[in-house]
């Protein structure tokens, strides 16, 4: 499959925008979530063999961006439709048309004037249309804001940032249109300021004690600060509990381990989903993602030095101690207890979490985790991020459906 056909498929997946005329936000988010799961675990099984196309990370980020837009704009889906149209139609058309032009942009040789122009012109036409179609009306103020947002997004899309276009396009648009109304970052209280100082101290000592490398310590500060400011003190306490439980497991039989410092990717993999859910205003999902991260980390740390029987779901037989995908009795029990403590602590803090559903979900996802990772063509850290994110999302969907 050549690049043009791949982009036509990209454009075709914009047609489900019309479903927003009849679906509510959680129904639409379930469809986007299933597309996300499909693109991670199913597409790698047939993409290169049947479609003969080159698999790339954009295949994952496309449905993920749509899902996040729907969640962010769950009370105003017309805004999600407007951003989705930019991602599907404008970005796709820009690639198809731009590849045929020779006049390259001076600041980015990979983009052309014709491609960027196509993006902006199509966006100025389609983005207001889908906004009006889903909402039923559009004010002159909203129209001018869309025009401004589309132009700025087109300029940002033309830059060589190194960030995936499937993330830059929709979220730049949302940022310039209504970030102030979607996320309201309040002025930190005196308690929060003290906790921010504590986060900085913990990050510094984590680096000094060689728990994290420098980038990992800096990442930990930003993740912790973000969860505090967006999610509140209670979610930060849950994050702190995850940190203490994980480190206790890490220092268990430390001499038998390699003692490798955790890097920035590991920090974002474990705490990133909770930060994301905190920004989205979904505290229950943040708790579940941290419970999953706790289960995974404690189970790995304890299981890697356990002396008992280790079972592998991948080979359906005995595995070596510390082997990826191996499940030990000691590791599983320790992980289950740690995740239970974290969930019960969140309930004690006043966060409404269904304990039975949460612990069964975390246990089930971690039990099947080795099978989830088989078809993935992504790094171990990104895989951990995805699984924690899936845990939080699945909990939300189950709470709605049950």
What distance in Å separates the CA atoms of residue 43 and residue 30, rounded to the nearest whole number?
Answer: 18
**Residue 31: per-residue pLDDT:** 92
Number of structural domains in the chain: 2
- Of the three residues 182, 200, 233, the one that is the final residue of a domain is 182
User: What's the pLDDT at 175?
Assistant: 77
- Asked if 322 and 256 sit in the same domain, the reply is yes
What per-residue confidence (pLDDT) applies to 226? 87
**pTM flag (> 0.85):** no
Do residue 125 and residue 272 come from a single domain? Answer: no
Q: Are residues 27 and 98 in the same domain?
A: yes
Q: What is the pLDDT at residue 401?
A: 81
User: 3-class secondary structure for 321-340?
Assistant: CCCCCEEEHHHHHHHHHHHH
pLDDT tops 50 at residue 182: no
CA distances from 251 to 96, 235, 278, 301, 343 (A): 53, 24, 29, 9, 22
Domain boundary (166, 182, 198) is at 182
Of 67-71, 212-216, 245-249, 326-330, the least confident: 326-330
5, 124, 153 from 117: Cα distances, Å = 21, 11, 12
- What is the percent of the chain with per-residue pLDDT over 90, rounded to a whole number? 26
Given a cut of 80, is residue 106 above it in pLDDT?
Answer: no
Average pLDDT over residues 270-283: 88
Of 151-160, 268-277, 370-379, the poorest mean pLDDT is in 370-379
pLDDT per residue as tens digits for the range 352-368 = 899 999 999 988 887 77
Q: 108-112 and 326-328: which strand pairing?
A: unpaired
- Final residue before a domain boundary, out of 182, 199, 215: 182
**Backbone region of residue 55 per phi and psi (left: phi > 0; alpha: psi in -120 to 50; beta: other values):** beta
Residues 41 and 136 in one domain: yes
Would the pLDDT of 295 be above 80? yes
What's the mean pLDDT in 21-41? 90
Q: Which residue range forms the structural domain that includes residue 151?
A: 3-182
Tell me which DSSP letter residue 353 carries. Answer: -
For residue 311, the surrounding DSSP H or E stretch is strand 310-312
Question: Which helix (H) or strand (E) is 318 found in, with range?
Answer: strand 317-318
Burial of 189 (C-beta count, 10 Å sphere; 0-12/13-18/19+): exposed
Cβ atoms of 347 and 283 closer than 8 Å: no
Rounded to a whole number of angstroms, the distance between the first and last alpha carbons of the chain is 42
Which 8-state DSSP code applies to residue 19? Answer: G
Based on the domain organization, do 150 and 209 belong to the same domain? no
Residues 260 and 237 occupy one common structural domain: yes
Decide if 282 contacts 396 (C-beta within 8 A). Answer: yes
The span from the CA of 100 to the CA of 398, in Å, is 47
Q: Is the same domain home to 344 and 217?
A: yes
40 and 74 belong to one structural domain: yes
pLDDT for residue 180: 42
Quickly tell me which residue has 């648009």 as its tokens. 173
CB 53 within 8 A of CB 6: yes
Q: In this structure, what DSSP letter does residue 212 have?
A: B
Residue 109 dihedral angles phi and psi, to the nearest 5°? -70, -15
Q: Is the dihedral of CA 24, 83, 272, 385 positive or negative?
A: positive
CA 378 to chain centre: 14
User: With 0-12 CB in 10 A as exposed, 13-18 as middle and 19+ as buried, what is 275?
Assistant: buried
274 and 397 part of one domain: yes
CB 380 within 8 A of CB 388: no
* pLDDT value, residue 321: 55
* 203 alpha-carbon distance from chain centroid: 23
Q: Tell me the CA distances in angstroms from 373 to 34, 249, 324, 332, 382, one per residue in order.
A: 17, 23, 10, 18, 10
Predicted local distance difference test score (pLDDT) of residue 24: 92
Residue-level pLDDT at 375: 53
Distance separating alpha carbons of residues 174 and 186, to the nearest angstrom? 20
Query: Does one domain contain both 390 and 305?
Result: yes
For residues 22 and 136, membership in a common domain is answered with: yes
What whole-number distance in Å separates Cα of residue 44 and Cα of residue 21? Answer: 32
The whole-angstrom distance between residue 279's C-alpha and the CA centroid of its chain comes to 11
Angle (deg, nearest 10), helices 329-348 and 283-303: 150
Give the whole-angstrom CA distance, residue 232 versus residue 225: 10
Q: Looking at the structure, do residues 175 and 196 belong to the same domain, yes or no?
A: no
């Amino acid at each position: 499959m050549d690049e043009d056909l791949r982009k036509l498929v990209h454009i075709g997946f914009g047609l489900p925008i019309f479903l927003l005329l009849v679906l509510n936000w959680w129904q639409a988010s379930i469809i986007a979530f299933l597309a996300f799961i499909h693109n991670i675990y199913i597409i790698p099984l047939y993409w290169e063999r049947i479609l003969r196309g080159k698999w790339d990370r954009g295949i994952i980020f496309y449905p993920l961006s749509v899902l996040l837009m729907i969640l962010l704009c769950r009370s105003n889906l017309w805004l999600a439709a407007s951003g989705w149209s930019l991602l599907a139609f404008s970005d796709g058309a820009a690639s198809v048309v731009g590849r045929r032009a020779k006049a390259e942009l001076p600041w980015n040789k990979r983009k052309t004037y014709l491609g960027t122009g196509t993006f902006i012109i199509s966006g100025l036409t389609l983005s207001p249309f889908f906004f009006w179609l889903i909402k039923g009306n559009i004010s002159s103020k909203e129209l001018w804001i869309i025009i401004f947002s589309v132009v700025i997004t087109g300029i940002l899309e033309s830059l060589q940032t190194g960030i995936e276009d499937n993330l830059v396009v929709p979220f730049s648009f949302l940022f310039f249109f209504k970030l102030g109304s979607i996320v309201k970052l309040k002025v930190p209280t005196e308690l929060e300021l003290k906790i921010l100082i504590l986060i900085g101290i913990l990050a510094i000592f984590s680096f000094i004690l060689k728990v994290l490398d420098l980038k990992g310590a800096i990442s930990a500060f930003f993740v912790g600060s973000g969860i505090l400011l967006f999610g509140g003190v209670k979610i930060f306490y849950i994050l702190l509990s995850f940190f203490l439980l994980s480190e206790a497991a890490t220092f268990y039989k430390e001499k038998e381990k390699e003692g490798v410092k955790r890097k920035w990717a590991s920090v974002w993999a474990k705490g990133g989903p909770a930060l994301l859910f905190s920004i989205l205003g979904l505290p229950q999902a943040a708790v579940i993602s941290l419970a999953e991260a706790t289960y995974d980390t404690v189970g790995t740390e304890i299981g890697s030095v356990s002396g008992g029987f280790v079972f592998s779901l991948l080979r359906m037989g005995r595995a070596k101690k510390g082997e990826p995908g191996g499940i030990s009795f000691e590791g599983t029990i320790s992980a289950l207890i740690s995740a239970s403590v974290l969930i019960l602590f969140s309930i004690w803090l006043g966060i409404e979490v269904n304990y039975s559903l949460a612990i069964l979900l975390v246990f089930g996802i971690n039990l099947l985790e080795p099978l989830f990772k088989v078809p993935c063509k992504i790094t171990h850290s990104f895989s951990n991020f995805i699984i924690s994110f899936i845990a939080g999302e699945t909990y939300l969907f189950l709470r709605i459906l049950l």
